[in-house]
Amino acid sequence: MTATTAAPFSALRNAWILTQRELLHWVRQPALPIFGLLFSIMLLLMFAFLFGGAIAVPGGGDYINFLLPGMLTLTMLFGLDGTLQAMSTDAAKGITDRFRSMPIGSSAVALGRSGADMASSILNLVVLIVGGLLIGWQITSDLGSALLAVFLLLWLRFSLLWIGIFLGLIFRGPGATMAVQVLIWPVGFLSNVFVSPETMPGWLGAVAAWNPISATATATRQLFGNPTGLSGGWMVDSAIALAVAWPLVLTLVFLPLSARAYRRLKR
């Protein structure tokens, strides 16, 4: 079949077409992404100025410098909600079925979703980084490290994408989406994003420290040359390795699960 020889190319082409669909959404309905950005900025300002004064960073350092990398990480986590919503809207509208009845592979659909969501995450990161710099955040490292930090953030986002696709495929209906939207908060807050785990009760600090989100937050803090709020230990020493490893594990678990869930739509 000619279809098989052209498959890798056509998958990429179709993925790009589906990514463009998302970009067209931004143009046609800018309110939604703008609201998302405003939400991120609001959260940033709230913690920087409202709570920030009351939060001390263990080991010293400016809270805003501690906060910003955490906020960027949290934004990657909250992006999961966007993936899930897009997936469940397409499923509910029958668009998923239309794609499945068309001569396009499941890989193209997944790649398209990932292209669209990565694009939106990059936009989010840019806005938050600029916003952060405007309110006094300082990157004290070099450009290479800063870019590596951004890469690690997007790498985390990429792994969370598969969780979003997986949940979007197995849960149907608005109830499930809402449950995930609610549960995403404790996952985000039970980390070192806003406060150092060293200020928490022991068991809670342990949970927060082991949260994959925390690994990326610590690694990006180091790479941006910002305070980590941690007094040391192997998790600090190997923060970058952990920030690579955690998303890798998540991807290795949820990418196959997503593929399986997609196949299981045939049941």
Partner 1 sequence: MYDDGSIVPSHLSLSAVGLRKRYGDVAALDDFNLAVPAGTIHGLLGPNGAGKSTAVRAFTTLIDLDAGSASVAGYDVKAEPGLVRRSIGLVGQSPAVDEILGGRQNLVLFGRLFGLNSKAARARADELLARFDLTDAAERPVSGYSGGMRRRLDIAAGLILTPAVLFLDEPTTGLDPRGRNEVWNAIRLIAESGTTVLLTTQYLDEADQLADTISVMNAGRVISTGTPDELKKRHGADRIVVTVTDAGQLDRAAASVRSMSEPVIDPLARTVTVESPSGTAGILSVVRILDAAGIDPEDLALRRPTLDEVFLVLTAKESTR
104 is a site residue for partner 1 (CB under 8 A): yes
- Candidates 37-45, 92-100, 139-147, 215-223: pick the segment binding partner 1 (CB under 8 A): 92-100
93 counts as binding partner 1 under rule CB under 8 A:
yes
Binding to partner 1 by residue 85, rule CB under 8 A?
Answer: no
Q: How many residues does the chain have?
A: 267
248 versus 265: smaller Cβ distance to partner 1: 265
**Separation between Cα atoms, residue 70 and residue 53, nearest integer Å:** 16
Which of 23, 34, 42, 102 lies at the binding interface for partner 1 (CB under 8 A)? 102
Taking CB under 8 A as the rule, does residue 267 contact partner 1?
Answer: yes
Interatomic CA distance for residues 220 and 70, integer angstroms: 8
Q: How far is the CB of 4 from partner 1 (least distance, A)?
A: 8
Q: How far is the CB of 103 from partner 1 (least distance, A)?
A: 4
Q: Does 10 bind partner 1 (CB under 8 A)?
A: yes
Interacting positions 237-266 with partner 1 (CB under 8 A): 265-266
For residue 103 the two structure tokens come to: 């001569």
Interaction of residue 142 with partner 1, rule CB under 8 A: no
Q: Which stretch binds partner 1 (CB under 8 A): 12-20, 54-62, 168-176, 196-204?
A: 12-20
User: Does residue 97 belong to the site contacting partner 1 (CB under 8 A)?
Assistant: yes
| Nearest to 217, CA basis, from 233, 195, 199 | 195
What is the per-residue binding string for partner 1 in 22-61, x denoting contact by CB under 8 A? --xx--xx--------------------------------
Instruction: Determine the interface stretch with partner 1 among 89-97, 122-130, 205-213, 218-226 (rule: CB under 8 A).
Output: 89-97
If the CB atoms of residues 32 and 187 are measured against partner 1, the closer one turns out to be 32
- Is residue 101 near partner 1 by the rule CB under 8 A? yes
Calculate the alpha carbon distances from 4 to 10, 51, 102, 238 in Å: 10, 57, 15, 43
List contacts with partner 1 (CB under 8 A). 1, 3, 10, 14, 17-18, 20-21, 24-25, 28-29, 92-95, 97-104, 265-267
